[in-house]
């Protein structure tokens, strides 16, 4: 009897954790960091999301489009606080100064991200902080660097 009760409690806990991983469908907002710009995030399942960012990066020296596939789950620390992680990629263009100094025009690379996201309960807003490595596949000032940012998004 005790064994059955324990199994039922574990299964219920796992289902509950999975059910609360997504508290919204889509959100759009602003991101401050690298890149700085507009961020859009949408869930494609309960724990999987796609985030798209369009903005300036590398201290304002490029215009880039980045996309991430993210796994997202509750932290268990406090309600509405999730962790997320996943791979991504970016493509963009360097400004004229960097094109001249580094003989670089287009930028293409792969990225990773890990972070935390907090969704407000009564107001349709969330806040996210993510950071991760970026590997530049085309010529530029640095082949490897860290990027990250703080996002504020409106949930709809």
pTM of the model: 0.82
Average pLDDT over residues 15-37: 78
**Is residue 134's pLDDT more than 80?**
yes
Averaged pLDDT of the chain: 86
Average pLDDT over residues 48-69: 93
Average pLDDT over residues 139-150: 88
Residue 60 confidence (pLDDT): 80
CA-CA distance, 27 to 33, in Å (whole number)? 18
Contacts of 110 (CB under 8 A, 6+ apart): 87, 88, 89, 90, 134, 135, 137
CA-closest candidate to residue 55, choices 154, 151, 133 = 151
Average pLDDT over residues 99-124: 90
Q: How many domains does the chain have?
A: 1
CATH code of 46's domain: 2.40.160.20
Residue 42 confidence (pLDDT): 98
Phi (first) and psi of residue 19, to 5 degrees: -70, -25
Residue 10 confidence (pLDDT): 42
Q: Which domain holds residue 93?
A: 2-155
Torsion region of 94: left, alpha or beta (phi above 0 gives left; psi -120 to 50 gives alpha): beta
Residue 94 confidence (pLDDT): 84
Pairing of strands 62-74, 48-57: antiparallel
């Amino acid at each position: 009897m005790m064994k059955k009760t324990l199994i039922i409690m574990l299964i219920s806990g796992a289902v509950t954790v999975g059910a609360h991983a997504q508290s919204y469908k889509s959100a759009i907002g602003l991101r401050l960091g690298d890149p700085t710009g507009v961020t859009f995030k949408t869930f494609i399942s309960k724990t999987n999301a796609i985030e798209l960012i369009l903005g300036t990066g590398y201290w304002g020296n490029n215009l880039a489009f980045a996309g991430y596939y993210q796994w997202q789950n509750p932290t268990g620390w406090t309600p509405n606080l999730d962790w997320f992680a996943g791979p991504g990629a970016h493509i963009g263009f360097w400004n004229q100064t960097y094109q001249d100094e580094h003989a670089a025009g287009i930028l293409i690379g792969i990225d990773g991200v890990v972070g935390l996201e907090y969704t407000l309960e009564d107001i349709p807003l969330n806040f996210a902080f993510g950071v991760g490595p970026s590997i530049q596949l085309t010529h530029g000032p640095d082949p490897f660097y860290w990027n990250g940012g703080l996002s504020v998004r409106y949930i709809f």
